[in-house]
Structure 1
Amino acid sequence: MREANDPRIPGSETRRVSLHSARRVHRAVNGCARVERAGSETSSTWFLRAAGEFDSDTVPCLREALGDARRDDAERILLDVSRVGFGDSAFLDALVEARRGPAGLVLVGPLPFRIRRLFELTGTLRLFPLVLLATDRGASGSV
């Protein structure tokens, strides 16, 4: 989907670039959290990497990134949360809200201890499909 302010149209200005080949980093104002869109082969699947600490002050950068995916008509959003050190109810609310949208939200892990604990305490882990990435440590341990 192209917005009226398409950056490829001369003279058009927009704050967000939502083209599938674009790389966009959303940062919290205080610098404690960020969400980056990693490369993906198609615009129908968005791969986002979240890192840092997400609370009511920093979660807007996550909401913006998820909103970009929705505006680009993503069919699926893969959200890597393996580098999230902290998340509170605002973080959880952003994930639950994204899950309600037309795009499917899949969490990519491993889940850090604090994030897994947040899901366990709130009973919300079952709401999110989870894909575990193989790590070097895990791969070497299985040999």
Structure 2
Amino acid sequence: MTATTGTTTVTRHLPRPALRRGAWLVSALFWSVLAVVEGVHHGWPAVALALTFLVLPDLTFLVALDEAPRMAKGQLPPRAVPYYNAMHRALVPLTLAVACAALPPHWPAAFAAPCGWLAHISYDRVLGYGLRTKEGFQRG
């Protein structure tokens, strides 16, 4: 991206993929550590929630399992894309994490769920998996 101001040309560089993945790795480790801490402090219910929500976003693949054999390599069936994309956006688990931290604790182990969910999303981004196009392919 280049911008010209008067007689000076300023070039702005967008973050490199390695830098972006590094930031996602820091996020993944942060949420993983928080999930472990929750498990240590709140026992098996927190561990179960963290592990469930670590796996849950990828269960959206099951929505259109019958269509999978007919898809191209790396393509998610279009019927599953809205569910996959919804479960792989960080806004909902971040909101849940803030709500669990800010509201009076009715069940302290519940904070482990958004920690596991955010760890999953972060690890996916580190590995190069992101949101999908409506046709089911990875967005570039």
TM range (shorter): under 0.3
TM-score by length of 2: 0.23
Structure label with greater radius of gyration: 2
Structure 1 or 2: more strand by fraction: 1
Structure 1 or 2: more helix by fraction: 2
TM-score by length of 1: 0.23
RCO higher in 1 or 2 (8 Å CA, sep ≥ 6)? 2
